[in-house]
Structure 1
């Protein structure tokens, strides 16, 4: 680290990604679970996309939203993992300023898109359970496509001020980003300017996007549970609720580490930096890894299609 200039410069053309400070000696060992997660993300989500495309019975809104989630997870993991692994394996820490801003923008954009997809999936379950006769007429293919486009536009527009503001600031203290990727707040801290607006805006976006989406999901499931409880027979109620199980599991897996990372970043001043960084990676990388596993385990149709695919290839 001695060759990294930390003073007396303005607006560097490159930033230096610090990695995970204090754990440099075990980078090779840390890279093993990171690389494993990335491989599982690729294999699992590509498998989901292939099965849905191959099986006509999966051409319905729930699986279309699942495909959106799979694509989102693939792109998000690919934005992070190659550079992170290059830090672990080759000590390749440099990243161009423009590439850093692009990475920052797309990472936060995709996280906003992801939480929007959870809302869309909750709405799909609400319509399917509370208004089953109208499901096919409400969530038509054009409507699903418009929802997907709206989610992308929402995420893109809300996060757009991040790189625009970051590009205008002067940087005169250090070019070392205390992270494995260009996380927004880690870049903001490097600026030699008043960044209060950016700090408040990022807090507002986090609370607005996550809070509002969590509210809509909660409202959807309140209506779903009310509809389930009036169904005749315990077995029928359990079977109906089971159709929501995968979505609820993925939602909790995604929101729990994200909430912990957000709270520790904002209020956990005594939490070590390497813990912040590890959890920031966990909340971005673990959900795309677990989503195809959860849906594969909890959805019999996907299990049967995967088994049929493997059996066909084996023969």
Structure 2
């Protein structure tokens, strides 16, 4: 019998995970370069400050994913009999709370700049004997912060869906949408350049509300998952059809009169219970065979109990 202690991703998903890890390392070093460059050129621009803080925050999902992939492979033990799969759920919650907190701070900070009518200044600097408006440098850095991130985001999205990994999906989605942050900041900088001082704060406010919205949505999703709700698909947040498939499979067996199932998410995999009303005598060999069929039905159906009952529980 396949043991939960022997959990391994299918061969095709091992390659997917390796690819995701490689992309996250690339993302980490790329974001570090973005953070350094934006810090050097942001000056007094509120929009640049908001974009910079968002990029600093973007480091968290990548770091959390890389740490989690090291931990989740550990085998169950006496201290952690269910294994370490939920480390991905904890990482997802950590990143979501950080995003929410930063969103609240950015909305407050940007609003105060607008209320106080703070006039940012974007000056000139000498480069190779030529005076260049720093706004052009800021715009170039913002484009550097957005375009490669978009590519990385698009590459990671299908991997996140295959792995059913929400921290990776959150990271990919945020990077895919980074162009909006950069565009808002660019408009703010151009607005300041043509004399609209408020454009910078408005651009920063747009970025702030985007961060806040994502933070609220991700915190809600992560909390509901930790409360053991019915497993959901990553993108559409619909009930995962795999659970209904398990129920139909069990009820199709001749020795089962009726059955009910319930599962919850533990990181990338599902844990749950299956209760069935026997159709005749209980045969342990049939039960053993049924258990193996279910364990091999799909890699996400990882750990569960299956047992006979007189009356089905109302799950």
Kindly indicate which of the two structures has a greater share of residues assigned to strand.
Answer: 2
Kindly indicate which of the two structures has a greater share of residues assigned to helix.
Answer: 1
Which bin holds the TM-score, normalised by the shorter protein?
A: 0.3 to 0.5
Query: How does the TM-score come out when normalised to structure 1?
Result: 0.38
The structure whose RCO (Cα within 8 Å, separation 6+) is larger is: 1
